[in-house]
Amino acid sequence: MAVCTVYTIPTTTHLGSFNQNKQVFFYNNKSFNYNKRSSSNNILTSSRPYVITCSAGDSQTVVIGLAADSGCGKSTFMRRLTSVFGGAAEPPKGGNPDSNTLISDTTTVICLDDFHSLDRTGRKEKGVTALDPRANDFDLMYEQVKALKEGKPVDKPIYNHVSGLLDPPELIQPPKILVIEGLHPMYDARVRELLDFSIYLDISNEVKFAWKIQRDMKERGHSLESIKASIEARKPDFDAYIDPQKQYADVVIEVLPTQLIPDDDEGKVLRVKMIQKEGVKYFNPVYLFDEGSTISWIPCGRKLTCSYPGIKFSYGPDTFYDNEVTVVEMDGQFDRLDELIYVESHLSNLSTKFYGEVTQQMLKHQEFPGSNNGTGFFQTIIGLKIRDLFEQIVANRAAAPAAAAKA
């Protein structure tokens, strides 16, 4: 049973503030279906003067933040995450074809670019980049994420990446899991507070550069100078507004050049670090062999043969922005299935539901970028950790009223 509220709102706003004309009623949220509202419930027949929000205890949304620069594999990460829950993520049906939102049975992923307060022209006029907080509406971001977390649908704006304009808003229903992904999920303290779990995807400058060379120079014919200039131009704002969010992340995935090939600058073989914060509720860091010690491991040897340059794992405690963290690092890449399952079988706290689940997930999406290295491997593991976190939160909520009833 969910406690739902009907708001009367002006159709033109983004539902930035909606504390007026509140009406509360009760609704069974299992039979609740927003798409059917016009036919099944006449109080909601008007085109969009009202919105139903369900701020019920047992339907509260778990909110995950994913920070990363644009084009750093966030969408692959999201597809891996939703796959763990069994469904495929798709854009909202029948809506704006340029919507940035992805919806699956359990998970809704919204792109924080939708909270740009300045469109492309506006940014140009004011001389600010999209990375600059002044180009983003954190008040609205906070209000809408808060509303969704409390089980209330919102009319979220859409930033059209094709036109560079702000399109009319789309209705977002509170999902079981809301992922907010983009440049600033942990920038605003109020938004940060709403996050149940946060991830920062950190691509090192060397790897970014190698990737851009590959894509923009070799595939699109840009010059080396123009690539360098575009990276340099972006750097001050990136360092000022994006990078510092790392310190708040529960997990940072760092993508670095390999150390297995001396002086490698191709960026094809990657070294990926999963930096896991200690003491995060519902999250037990993954470890290798012996929890709390420092280990390096080359699995390739007598039992497992690997092609050059092989695979190397490192594991150990560390500090990161004054926080205690546990780091698992993978350098190199998988060639074959047996390597993947061998590695998986030696890691602990993976939050799998059966032996080999990480490998199964990786195989299911072999075509995704990073499926043969640490990026795909750790993204899949984080997907499993988020499922575990979600299930613990739900179980905990279910247990709390039962305990209260007993007392």
For a second copy, the binding residues (CB under 8 A) are 289-304, 316-317, 346
Query: Residue 301 or residue 401: which is nearer to a second copy going by CB?
Result: 301
Closest CB 298 distance from a second copy, rounded Å: 4
Query: Residue 115 or residue 287: which is nearer to a second copy going by CB?
Result: 287
Return d(Cα 111, Cα 197) in angstroms, integer.
Answer: 16
Closest CB 259 distance from a second copy, rounded Å: 14
Return d(Cα 87, Cα 356) in angstroms, integer.
Answer: 19
How far apart, in Å, are the Cα atoms of 237 and each of 71, 135, 210, 324, 367?
16, 12, 21, 28, 33
Q: By three-state DSSP, how is residue 60 classified?
A: coil
Tokens representing 188? 């605003």
Closest CB 300 distance from a second copy, rounded Å: 7
Q: Which residue is it, tokens 């590695």?
A: 343
Query: Residue 309 or residue 317: which is nearer to a second copy going by CB?
Result: 317
Beta bridge partners of 23: 6
Tokens representing 224? 């080396």
Cα-flanking dihedrals φ and ψ of residue 332, to 5°? 105, -170
Closest CB 376 distance from a second copy, rounded Å: 22
Half-sphere exposure of 260 (CA within 13 A, CB side): 22
Cα-flanking dihedrals φ and ψ of residue 277, to 5°? -70, 140
Return d(Cα 405, Cα 195) in angstroms, integer.
Answer: 29
Over the Cα atoms of the chain, what is R_g?
Answer: 22
Return d(Cα 259, Cα 13) in angstroms, integer.
Answer: 52
The number of residues in the chain equals: 407
Return d(Cα 320, Cα 350) in angstroms, integer.
Answer: 22
Closest CB 345 distance from a second copy, rounded Å: 9
Return d(Cα 190, Cα 63) in angstroms, integer.
Answer: 13
- What is the DSSP secondary structure assignment for residue 202, as one 8-state letter? E
Query: Residue 112 or residue 275: which is nearer to a second copy going by CB?
Result: 275
Closest CB 288 distance from a second copy, rounded Å: 9
Closest CB 264 distance from a second copy, rounded Å: 20
Query: Residue 25 or residue 355: which is nearer to a second copy going by CB?
Result: 355
Query: Residue 238 or residue 297: which is nearer to a second copy going by CB?
Result: 297
Query: Residue 69 or residue 329: which is nearer to a second copy going by CB?
Result: 329
Number of other residues whose CB lies within 10 A of the CB of residue 95: 15
Query: Residue 138 or residue 297: which is nearer to a second copy going by CB?
Result: 297
Closest CB 385 distance from a second copy, rounded Å: 19
Query: Residue 56 or residue 298: which is nearer to a second copy going by CB?
Result: 298
- What is the DSSP secondary structure assignment for residue 261, as one 8-state letter? S
Return d(Cα 207, Cα 257) in angstroms, integer.
Answer: 6
Closest CB 357 distance from a second copy, rounded Å: 20
